[in-house]
Chains A and B, each alone.
Chain A
Amino acid sequence: MESFAQLLESGRRAGPCRPFPRGEVSAEQWTALAGHLAAGDLVLMGLWGDAGAVHMALLDEAAGRLAVATYACAGGAFPSVARHHPPAARLERTVRDLYGLVPEGAPDDRAWLDHGRWGVRHPLGTPLPAEPAGDTYAFLAAEGEGLHQIPVGPVHAGIIEPGHFRFSCYGEAVVRLEERLGYVHKGIERLVAGADVAQAARLAGRQSGDSTVAYALAFCRAVEAARGVAVPARAHALRGVMAELERLANHLGDIGAICNDAAFALMLAHCGVLREKVLRVSARAFGHRLMMDGVIPGGVAVDLARDGISAIRVLVSEVRAAFPALVELYDNTASLQDRTVGTGFTRPDYVRQFGAGGYVGRASGRPFDARRAFAYPPYDRLPFEVAVRPEGDVNARIWVRIREVEESLGLVVRLLDTLPDGPVATEIPAGPGEGLAVVEGFRGDVLAFVALAADGRVRRAHLRDPSWFQWPLLETAIEGNIVADFPLCNKSFNCSYSGVDL
């Protein structure tokens, strides 16, 4: 762990990035850090490209220290991390697609986001004219007598995001699942570069619409850290209320939707009603059902009025009254339990290796929660439980959500009880800086890196969705299960397509 200590030290001395240090490393140090990742000493929190450099965010989970290593790519290449630590593979492929920086010795040299349809290659690096488009993606082979492939998507029968799943099956049993994503690439990183922070925050809130509060919050916290701005206490509390309402709405929706994938529509109906109530109250209190653009750099866009507070209080008591009966219904329906218990087992060692956050990690015994690990306001002054289950199956992921719904209800009430007075936003003075923030969205930890140019505009921003480290685990969770159980496993992960397709 010497190289990590050196990184922390050099980062602190160089000091461009706040509040977590970022330091330049040599090729040897970079590889040594990759070795620590492979050994499980460090957790990979993100890996992204920049002009002529790659950054890698690393977490020392035991000590709770986060740092960014930067490697200046001489000759447009960098030593592959994925070679030692598989979780970096898709991130490296993305760096290559967007920047043209080559991970040397990478185990997988296929394109990830670039499907050959952009009309340009390496759009963020040195753009090259595109090669003729053709869908010639080589899926990983699975060979043997009686194996057959089932291609699913990217267009699905239900109203979900596009993604392609390639199943290799032996009868009903899944031998291998391979995902292919990138169908909702929006070029957000290109749009954000050069934008002012207000516009960039709006864009950040659209990377994955269902976690718009978490994304905007992560981005704004990074900007505020970069500029050294202290946000008013009331804004912190209101951001907390929004984040917990978002978590509530999504978890309630998920619990119902998972049960519906087992053809138990009753849970979907009742959870759908509760979710709708949360959305309507959010609209009343913050002016938007998903609270999009509610979090802005420097604070929040709208103050919470008195009637908004009482609406939220009524909502909490309504959900508290209705939810226990639904939990009981879930727990007492044997046919439903038969589907969820033991299905889609995610191995705890994989969860630790991939540093998977959110309910995916916590349902397999990894107690990581960014609200606890980084104790950012307002969670620094709030007591709450982090729900952890060891089983790693669909049932455990539902129970983590159930516990988090209950915790979120408590958090919302406590935030409203202790809501400070005062302004809800402060100015962000224009100027350069660099910030990093990690925020707990409903899916898990969203990491935001922002580098501001001298005129205060965004030079480079990268938002890393929690699903980067959850999608690969879905491939492992379905192995050995039957094809017909995939929708259930998939819904219990509920990974973001838009968030990773950037």
Chain B
Amino acid sequence: MANLLVQGTQMLLVLALAPLLTGLVRKAKARLTRRRGASVLQPYRDLARLMRKEVVLAENASWLFRVVPYLVFAATWVAAALVPTFATGLIFSWSADLIAITALIGSARFFLALAGMDVGTSFGGLGSSREVMISSLAEPAMIMIVFSLALVAHSTQLSTIASVMLAGVGLRVSLALALVALLMVAVAENGRIPVDNPSTHLELTMVHEAMVLEYSGRHLALIELAAQLKLLLFLSLVACVFVPWGLAPVGAGPSAMVLGMATYGGKLAVGALLVAVFETSIAKMRVFRVPDFLGAALMLGLLGTLLLFVSGIL
């Protein structure tokens, strides 16, 4: 019962915090480029505005085009709800592990790429083909990271991994490699600089934005919210696995829960700042450099796994 309550709170929490996180990143980036920037609450207002707006559909849009925003949103929301944010005792945690999260994100992307091509505009196709190229390298890298973690924690369930990490596994080379690889995958998955630029107006350089160029109204709101949830998901994942301190253990009291929420908020704020600083200090890479970048992530993940096979303590 308690686990169900924690799970419910978690689902609402991620949904409520996701736009704020994006707003925070944008605000920090604006401050770093000497602008005042919009309020951190602006993403909420944007979502509300889009929800009120009429949906404009292309004439040749199929049913798939209309269904995909809901699919993408649902899959991403569920995935985000599976990552322990403030407490480990999540009721879904025992039925859905890290591999399930990867699969959920993968299917969301698959449907979005289909929708990008559905209307038949050149930008949609361009965005979909780039997105698939990126994901075909990001997903294996993600799986390698999962293997590394699983070899350390002897489980792919995030609650278990978090407890093992919290208990202390010491400084390990393999985990450092996995962390770097995870950060690289997170950058690619979320379409952040240097892989993609979420704030660009240049159609020809877009990846994620090109796919969703034809969406409007509540459809666009759902896709934007899903993108915000995804950023939150990856930050939470990094926080849960590599800085699990503050997570409330299973069956903890209300005070531990509150402490868990406070530390989670702190971790997100630090994460948002780091994202903003990183994005400000680097230019976007050439599209054809992205495979090299993700290839490096894959190699790091593989190296981490191999090290663990060779020696249990590395």
Contacts and interface: CB of A to CB of B under 8 A. Distances in A.
Interface of A: 148-152, 156-158, 171-172, 259, 261-266, 268-270, 273, 333, 335-336, 338-339, 482-487
A246 to B, nearest CB: 24
25 contacts: A149-B122, A150-B126, A150-B204, A156-B201, A158-B202, A171-B129, A263-B193, A263-B284, A264-B283, A266-B281, A270-B34, A333-B281, A333-B282, A335-B194, A335-B282, A335-B284, A336-B283, A339-B284, A339-B285, A482-B287, A482-B288, A484-B204, A484-B287, A487-B204, A487-B205
B95 interface: no
Interface string B162-199: 00000000000000000000000000000001100100
B284 A262 contact: yes
A441 B205 CA distance: 30
Contacts of A339: 283-286
B283 A262 contact: yes
Contacts of B202: 157-158, 261, 487
B286 A152 contact: no
Contacts of A483: 126, 204
A467 B36 CA distance: 36
B46 interface: no
Contact of B34 (A149, A171, A269, A338): A269
Contact of A338 (B126, B193, B289): B289
Contacts of A149: 122
Given A150-B126, A486-B204, A263 B283 contact: yes
B283 A338 contact: yes
A485 B280 contact: no
B33 interface: yes
B267 interface: no
Given A152-B204, A158-B202, A486-B204, 19 more contacts: A150-B204, A156-B201, A156-B203, A172-B287, A172-B288, A263-B197, A263-B205, A263-B284, A265-B280, A266-B33, A335-B283, A335-B284, A338-B289, A339-B286, A483-B126, A484-B204, A484-B286, A484-B287, A485-B286
B122 A335 contact: no
A159 to B, nearest CB: 8
Contacts of A263: 193-194, 197, 200, 205, 283-284
Q: Which 6 A-B pairs have the closest CB atoms?
A: A263-B284, A269-B33, A158-B201, A264-B283, A263-B197, A336-B283
A500 to B, nearest CB: 22
Which bracket fits the contact residues of B?
20 to 34
Contacts of A487: 202, 204-205
A273 B280 CA distance: 17
A259 B281 CA distance: 12
Contacts of A262: 283-284
A183 to B, nearest CB: 17
Contacts of B33: 265-266, 268-269
Contact of A333 (B32, B205, B283): B283
Contacts of A336: 283
Contacts of A333: 281-283
B29 interface: yes
B204 A273 contact: no
B122 A150 contact: yes
A259 B283 contact: yes
Contact of B280 (A148, A156, A266, A482): A266
A149 B123 CA distance: 10
A171 B32 CA distance: 36
Contacts of A485: 286
Contacts of A156: 201, 203
A151 B29 CA distance: 32
A482 B122 contact: no
Contacts of B282: 264, 333, 335
A171 B122 CA distance: 11
B122 A148 contact: yes
A429 B110 CA distance: 74
Given A151-B122, A263-B193, A335 B201 contact: no
A339 B286 CA distance: 7
B282 to A, nearest CB: 5
A273 B35 CA distance: 10
Contacts of A266: 32-33, 280-281
A262 B281 CA distance: 12
B293 to A, nearest CB: 11
Nearest to A488: B205
A338 B193 CA distance: 14
Contacts of A152: 203-204
Nearest to A491: B202
A151 B123 CA distance: 9
Interface string B34-64: 1100000000000000000000000000000
A335 B264 CA distance: 32
Contacts of B32: 266
Nearest to B207: A484
A339 B193 CA distance: 13
Nearest to A261: B202
Contacts of B205: 261, 263, 484, 487
A157 B204 CA distance: 10
B286 to A, nearest CB: 6
Contacts of B285: 335, 338-339
Contacts of A482: 286-288
B125 to A, nearest CB: 8
Contacts of B193: 263
A158 B283 CA distance: 19
